[in-house]
Every structure is written in structure tokens, then in C-alpha cells.
Amino acid sequence: MTAAPRPPGGHPTPTLLEQFGQIDIYLFDQLLRGRIAPGDVIFDAGCGGGRNLFHLLREGYEVFAMDTDAGAVESVRRLAAQLAPHLPPENFRVGDLERMTWPAAFADVVISSAVLHFARDEQHFHDMLHGTWQALKPGGMLFCRLASSIGMESEVQALGRRRYLLPDGSERFLVDEPMLVQLTSGLGGQLLDPIKTTVVQNQRCMTTWVVRKNNTLPV
């Protein structure tokens, strides 16, 4: 196996994996474009094991995270203890997004990656989205990845309450483009990017929804 190249000074150049972990490629794109900047407060709303937090913790961001899975939260606490020991364990909590335990408008960037499509029905979806959005400061950015029907409308089977059976055998709450456009306006936001969808080999669709919270409208 070839060793990593050594720059002047003799230290190996870290690999992309060592720098960024298993970060979502679409979130990585936001980093590259400077939309997540040093000094920003980050809230991962449904953090799982912290795959999107590795770089942010390593680079000293003020990071907060929540998940319903206690084991996942404990994994994030261990990761933070290793990469960002200055952050208190209380920054990483077990809880439901619809019952937020942090004050409103505390985060510059809110990450919601593969979370909202687990909603039980439309009311649950809106409750989770409201809790997620409420955490965001005016002028802040919501980065959201979620399942949709966009591009596979004829391949998903409606089960009721906006839940669908997907060709991959999973059941998900699915959004579509008109719903996301309406939500953007209704929340008091504006699209930072066009709505983008990846069709995964006729098995499922994942949509990226990136929204800036307006300064002039209430939460």
C-alpha cells in the first residue's frame, strides 16, 4: 500500500476521509461554497451516529445535535469527546424534534439529513419540520435531504397519509416539488439552490432542499 504523500515538514497529507469522514456529498458541496463558515453554530436535527459532524467537530464549530436514538447520541458524544473535547455532553441530546429543548433561533445552520421521511403522517411531518425550522436563526440555512416521489411518481405505491411503499421495499413519507415550494414560502424562506433530486436506480429518490430563513418574517 502506498503511503500518503508528505508535504514539506514531513507530516503526511490527511486523506479526504480523515478530514471529512462519511459526510453527505451534498452537504460537502455547501462547505465548498462557503455557506457553512467558521464561527457558525450548527444544529444536526436527527444526527444519527454523527456522519455529517466529523469535519465540523474537528474544525472547532459550535455543534449541537439531537436524535431519538440514545445509542446514536452516545456515539456522537464519544466522537465529540475525541474531536472537540471543549463541547459539553449536554450539546448532544436524546429527544424528538417536535418537542425541542433548545431556545428558538439559536443555530446558523440546521442539518436535517434523512430524517423527515420517517414522519408517520402529514401532521407529524409538519411538527418535526416546525421544530427543526424554529431552531434556525433569521438569515440562517436549512440543509435538508429527504425522500421524495420526484422522478419516480409511477413507481411508488400510495399507502395513505402521504406514506408510500418504495420499489426498494421501504415505507417512507414522501414529498414532491409543489409541496417543497409551498413549504419554503409558508415557512418564510427562500430557496438557496434549485430543488435537486437523485434517482437511485429506480429504487428510491432522495431530494436536496436548501433554504435560507428570511430576516423579515417571524419563525
The string of DSSP codes covering 27-64 is: HHHHHHTTSS-TT-EEEEET-TT-TTTHHHHHTT-EEE
Spatial separation of the C-alpha atoms in residues 3 and 198, rounded to whole Å? 35
The residue among 148, 167, 155, 164 whose CA lies nearest residue 206 is: 148
Model pTM? 0.91
Residue type, 146: L
How large is the average pLDDT for residues 1-8? Answer: 48
CB distance 88 to 140 below 8 Å: no
48 neighbors 21 (Cβ within 8 angstroms): no
CATH number of 18-213: 3.40.50.150
> What digits encode the pLDDT tens for the residues 47-74?
999 999 999 999 999 999 999 999 999 9
Structural domain boundaries of the chain? Answer: 18-213
pLDDT for res 17: 81
Q: Measure the CA–CA gap between 159 and 174, rounded to whole angstroms.
A: 11
Predicted local confidence at residue 218, as pLDDT: 45
Q: Mean pLDDT throughout 67-94?
A: 97
Report pLDDT digits (tens) over 131-187: 999 999 999 999 999 999 999 999 999 999 999 999 999 999 999 999 999 999 999
Nearest C-alpha neighbor of 136 from the set 58, 83, 63, 213:
213
